[in-house]
Amino acid sequence: MSDWLVTTVISDVHHSASARSLRLALPDEVEARPGQHIDIRLTAEDGYSTARTYSLSDARETRTLEVTVERAWDGEVSPYLVDMVEVGEPLEVTRPHGGWFTWDSSDPSPVQLIGGGSGLVPLISMIRCREVFAPQTPFSLIYSLRSPDRLLFDDDLRQLTEHRRLPIHLAYTRTAPPDSSRPAGRLSTEELAEFSIAPERDPTVYICGPNQFVEHCAAAIIAAGHAPERVRTERFG
Ligand SMILES: Cc1cc2nc3c(=O)[nH]c(=O)nc-3n(C[C@H](O)[C@H](O)[C@H](O)COP(=O)(O)OP(=O)(O)OC[C@H]3O[C@@H](n4cnc5c(N)ncnc54)[C@H](O)[C@@H]3O)c2cc1C
């Protein structure tokens, strides 16, 4: 059985009409690794309770954690986290868990990140940790999203681009911004090969997003010459 910690929501960021980050203050110190997730449990007045898993979008501190939730319109938990819970209110969570889809800042290998939609969440946690703990480790990001209004972590990505800290390839699947040279459409196999770190440099590849996105990208990246054991995936379902 999980041990539930009672945290307090201490701040939030609205990324879009459908996505919000929540920073949670922990009752004691907790070590977390970038790529890990927590479960969040909601309990109704009649005692009914349900829990969902959310990746950490920030694992740098030991007294706070951040999660970032994209609303499933007819979902049970995410609408509450995006629209209803207020700063100052409590939230029950587990300690961070998950071991395979994590990045170790002492590993000097280059890192190729590939995220679809809210699959960017654990990847931004890796990027944020890299900036603090291993700023020389080469990182590269391919980020697929539906349309410009669904962009997550706009400020982080803009800063990283401005300071040439991270090559970013954005792929809009439904609507591209007017100034984009890439027409809207799904990431192609050729594009994934062209914009990812070359297999000869032996990067660790992290792919996260919906099932089909992860399957497509993993197959493409292996076809491009990356060793399957260097490819780590996480599916949000
Ligand atoms: C490892 C991991 C990490 C994750 N990290 C994140 C994250 O960082 N950010 C994030 O936003 N999400 C993340 N998720 C997804 C998250 O856990 C939830 O699945 C998501 O928020 C939807 O939950 P919900 O309660 O709002 O929707 P749910 O109530 O679970 O419903 C989800 C969808 O399924 C449909 N559905 C529900 N029940 C049925 C049924 N019986 N038959 C058919 N359809 C049904 C609903 O209509 C809805 O469209 C992660 C998932 C995993 C596994």
Q: Whole-angstrom Cα distance, residue 173 to residue 187? A: 8
Q: Are residues 223 and 146 in the same domain?
A: yes
Mean pLDDT of 164-193: 96
Mean pLDDT of 156-184: 96
How many whole angstroms from 72 Cα to the centroid of ligand 1? Answer: 7
pLDDT digits (tens, 9 = 90+) for 50-101: 999 999 999 999 999 999 999 999 999 999 999 999 999 999 999 999 999 9
* Strand-by-strand arrangement of the 139-145 sheet: 168-172, 139-145, 111-116, 204-209, 231-235
Tell me which residue range forms the domain holding 30. 5-93
84 domain residue, yes or no:
yes
Dihedral over Cα of 94, 103, 218, 69: its sign:
positive
Q: Are residues 164 and 225 in the same domain?
A: yes
Query: What percent of the chain stands above pLDDT 90?
Result: 98
104 domain residue, yes or no:
no
Question: Would the pTM count as exceeding 0.75?
Answer: yes
Q: Are residues 128 and 42 in the same domain?
A: no
Cβ neighbours, 10 Å, residue 211: 12
pLDDT digits (tens, 9 = 90+) for 138-152: 999 999 999 999 999
Residue 1 has a pLDDT of 54
Mean pLDDT of the chain: 97
- Check pLDDT > 90 for residue 237: no
pLDDT digits (tens, 9 = 90+) for 183-210: 999 999 999 999 999 999 999 999 999 9
Q: Are residues 42 and 145 in the same domain?
A: no
149 domain residue, yes or no:
yes
Q: Are residues 116 and 228 in the same domain?
A: yes
Atom of ligand 1 minimally distant from the CA of 121: 8
Whether 74 is in the pocket of ligand 1, judged by its Cβ within 6 Å, is: yes
Residue nearest ligand 1's atom 24 by CA: 75
Mean pLDDT of 100-106: 97
Residue 205 backbone phi and psi in degrees, to 5: -110, 125
Residue nearest ligand 1's atom 28 by CA: 75
Most ligand 1 atoms within 8 A of CB, residue of 13, 74, 146, 233 to mutate:
74
Please name the residue that has the structure tokens 């007017």.
Answer: 178
Whether 78 is in the pocket of ligand 1, judged by its Cβ within 6 Å, is: yes
Element (H, E) at 100: none
